[in-house]
Structure 1
Amino acid sequence: MENLQLWDFRLIDFIDVFLVAILLYYIYKLVKGTVAINIFIGILIIYFVWRLTDYLNMHMLYRIVDGFMKVGIIALIVVFQPEIRKFLLMVGSTNIGGKRRLFKNFKFLNNDIETTTDVSAILQACENMGRNKTGALIVIERNNNLDFLVNTGDEMSIAVSQPIIESIFFKNSPLHDGAAIIEGNTIKATRVILPLNNEKTVPDRFGLRHRAAIGVTEKTDALAVAVSEETGQISYFKDGEFVIYKDLEDLNEKLKKDLV
């Protein structure tokens, strides 16, 4: 019984478990809802087969799987290149202070947290701009710090409101080109130049705004809302993909849920 020191649990062990939990959570966040989750499950199955064949002394099958595992790290880098890039960016630019953003993702720690962003004002402005065929691109910051993009535009510090957003993207406004970045309930930059995505097929009716929205939400965990200048349609982007919604009320709920 002396070897079973179940209660010998040091502080460093707790930190170790906690950090592993955070790592697994971030990995889950990256692959959730994408085809990468199926690849990840496939890799886990192969790993367990590898360990099982070694334990059962199935030499021939073990050598085959072992050969795959030895070169598996190269395959992982190739297959998961976008996810690895996004993970490193997420780790390197996570905002920890001020708003408890690192911990707000763990719902069991803070069920009462609500987004501070005035989502209704943003969507009402988008609806009005859509009626007038005014193009717009709004990026909402989450965990990843977007200061590296803010530097490409004009820094601001203006509270989010429907009139302010509409005035920014008014066709004769000097600020209407590029994107506006929102952090919390503050517009922190306008005329921001976003990275474009040239790989995914985007319908012809969508232009550079939508490619930029795909690019920024693919490379960071930000959310983006775009208003088409040609059709007035409002599009919502998350994780580099179009998000389908029924109506503005449904979009409002999705945005609020994704921002918490």
Structure 2
Amino acid sequence: MLDFIDFTFLDFLDITLVGVLLYYVYKLLKGTVAINIFIGISIVFLIYKITQALKMEMLSSILEVLVGGGAIAMLIIFHPELRKFLLMLGSANIGSKRSFIKQLKFLKTEINSEVDVDSIVAACLKMSKSKTGALIVIERNNSLDFVKERGDFMNAEVNIPILESIFYKNSPLHDGATIINENIIVATRVVLPLSDKTLPSRFGLRHRAAIGITERTDCICIAVSEETGKISLIKDGEFELFNDKDDLIDIIKAHLN
């Protein structure tokens, strides 16, 4: 009994670190279907540890089997989230001047919502009318440094004329994607990873690239089709076509908030 109630500083540190880890995992998964599964697995694991501490051997042995299988299940269920996390770790340049902690942007509990969404949508509507192809990526929590390096760096505030000039057909910057972070155009002519999904024939490389980057990170993409002029919003590997300006603005702002 004395061993059970013996509580040291290391025990306190252990519990604190686990609590912090669970909190940030919850923030990462919040708003997704996976959060309910994560909570269920956490409850089962907590009951398992309680039964271990109380030496309830029969129930503990049953739960141990469930927890053991749960580890494999987590790898399957949380594959997209683990992929994002490992991709972010692999792309972080620890030796650079930017600190490693700054690379862990998914730990932030708030997303900067000061992006000029109205100007972005207005520019897309103009390009839609002229059937000018465009791909705009709005960075959120996950760092996009690993793809920015594939393009040309820029430091310009978001506005309608500059977005139109970037994607103008005769502009040297119109190929590839433009990345926006905190209302600053940080890179243009960026080559994005392509998705392996089977897409309808009317969607080309621009949409495949948008799906590919949103499968790997939590960014939002807006694509304007060069063939049809249709505007698509892509998030979490899924896309939706929009005709109404206000609906598109409201949904983008909701995602950013």
Name the aligned partner's letter for residue 185 of structure 1. Answer: N
Q: Which residue of 2 aligns with 1:110?
A: none
Q: What is the RMSD of the two structures over their aligned residues, measured on CA atoms? A: 3.9
Taking the aligned partners of 2:236 and 2:56, their CA distance within structure 1 comes to 43
- 8 Å CA contact 2:230, 2:242 repeated in 1: no
Question: What is the TM-score of this pair, normalised by structure 2?
Answer: 0.75
Q: 1:149 aligns with which of 147, 150, 175?
A: 147
- With normalisation by structure 1, the TM-score equals 0.74
Of the candidates 238, 243, 249, which is equivalent to residue 241 of structure 1? 238
- 1:42 CA drift (Å): 4.1
Cα displacement (A) at 1:21:
6.2
1:167 pairs with 154, 165, 168, which one? 165
Q: CA deviation at 1:121?
A: 1.0
Distance 1:156 1:51, change over 3 A: closer
| Aligned-residue offset at 1:153 | 0.9
Equivalent residue for 2:4? none
Q: Distance in 2 between matches of 1:134 and 1:197?
A: 22
CA 180–28 in structure 1, closer or farther in 2 if over 3 Å, else same:
same
| Contact residue 153 and residue 191 of structure 1 kept, 8 A | yes
Alignment of 1:122-141 (within 5 A): 122-141=120-139
2:175 to 161, 177, 180: 177
Distance 2:21 2:38 in 1: 15
Q: Which amino acid aligns with 1:65?
A: L
1:1-260 equivalences in 2 (<5 Å): 17=16, 23-44=21-42, 46-47=44-45, 50=48, 57=56, 59=58, 62-89=60-87, 105-106=109-110, 115-199=113-197, 201-242=198-239, 247-260=244-257
Contact in 2 for aligned 1:95/1:145 (Cα 8 Å): no
Deviations, residues 101-122 of structure 1 (Å, cap 9, x unaligned): 788635xxxxxx9733221111
Q: Which residue identity does 1:105 align to in structure 2? A: T
What are structure 1's unaligned runs of at least 5 residues?
Answer: 1-9, 107-112
Structure 1 residues 250 and 48 mapped into 2: Cα distance closer, same or farther (>3 Å)? same
CA gap of 1:23–1:132, structure 2 versus 1, over 3 A, is: farther
Q: 1:227 to 1:147 in 2, by over 3 A?
A: same
Give the aligned residue type for 1:171. K
For residues 26 and 203 of structure 2, the distance between their equivalents in structure 1, rounded to whole angstroms, comes to 30
Distance 2:178 2:107 in 1: 26
**Secondary structure of the structure 2 residue equivalent to 1:180:** strand
Name stretches of at least 5 consecutive residues in structure 2 with no aligned partner. Answer: 1-8, 93-98
Say whether the 8 Å CA contact 1:90–1:221 is kept in structure 2. no
Judge conservation of contact 1:226–1:234 (CA < 8 Å) in 2: yes
Q: Is the contact made by 2:232 and 2:242 (CA closer than 8 Å) also made in structure 1? A: no
Counterpart amino acid of 1:177?
D
* Alpha-carbon contact 1:26-1:87 (below 8 Å) kept: no
Contact preservation (8 Å) 2:214, 2:235: yes
CA deviation digits over 1:180-233, x for unaligned, max 9? 01122221111100111114x433322222221122122122221111122211
2:41·2:70 contact (CA, 8 Å) conserved in 1? Answer: no
Is residue 136–residue 169 contact of structure 1 (8 Å, CA) maintained in 2? yes
Q: Which moved further from structure 2: 37-46 or 162-171?
A: 37-46
- DSSP 3-state at the match of 1:176: coil
- The 2-side partners of 1:122 and 1:95 are apart by 31
- Please, which moves more after superposition, 220-229 or 62-71? 62-71
Mean alpha-carbon deviation: is it higher for 113-122 or for 126-135? Answer: 113-122
